[in-house]
Copies of this chain bind each other. A is one copy, B any other.
């Protein structure tokens, strides 16, 4: 049986561990000893459409102890990536790594890694960690994977947890970035569920104003497709709260830097002004600060 290491015990890490443990020998690397102990004792409970299943997964607190594996999947948030890089650097250059983060800022980090095989992934699942050892699969989607460097290995399809291989990692990440840049900050600012961005005619207009600015900065070819894709995500996840809205409500740091911050960096390089993005970035940072008080 192939071995998989998963770094990060958040909602995505637990979701991947639970599903992949059906077909692979999974080791989950957690931030805390407490979480590792809890998972080793209880397994990971996956809640899905009213049912729940407990999966046996071995967990280890993350350190310079990552075992070589057929694939290591990194699911920590973009702003935690820097902290875990020293541990990844203890792996040989032959270990394939798969990075699943929002935004684009992690590409700079990838460039400097020695590993010969690096993949990038985007996730369309909805997942919510409800406990150290349990996760709710709130929205069934797919995982998209593209090679950033090296050959793409065939990946076993898993029932109810599909993988789609993409050929162009940049296009894949930008598509996801546009969705995140529209839905996350606006739902967090307005404190509404995803569907309201298309059902409320004024919110629809503000989303369009934001999109036009972003499309211009990123110089999107056939922008129409990106817009339609974002509307489709709003529609399919209409009753969901976005991750950024949840982060705000729970007083956690948001991923605004990885998302709108990246667009601002691109705009600065291209000497383009982005008034709405700047305003929205400041608004979310300010709301974050309020909640942190």
Contact = CB atoms under 8 A, between A and B. Distances in A.
Interface in A195-226: 196, 200-203, 205-206, 209-210, 213
A131 interface: no
Contacts of A279: 206, 209-210, 276, 279-280
Given A209-B278, A276-B275, A192 B290 contact: yes
B196 A290 contact: yes
Interface stretch (A66-74, A233-241, A281-289): A281-289
B209 A289 contact: no
The majority secondary structure among interface residues of chain A is: helix
A190 interface: yes
A93 interface: no
B290 A190 contact: yes
Copies of the polypeptide in the assembly: 2
A286 B209 contact: no
Interface in A133-180: none
Contacts of A283: 189-190, 202-203, 206
Given A190-B290, A276-B276, A290-B190, A282 B213 contact: no
A289 B210 contact: no
A203 B280 CA distance: 10
A179 to B, nearest CB: 19
Nearest to A275: B275
A282 B190 CA distance: 11
Contacts of A275: 209, 213, 275-276
Given A190-B287, A203-B283, A205-B286, 4 more contacts: A196-B290, A202-B283, A203-B286, A213-B275
Contacts of A192: 290
A175 to B, nearest CB: 23
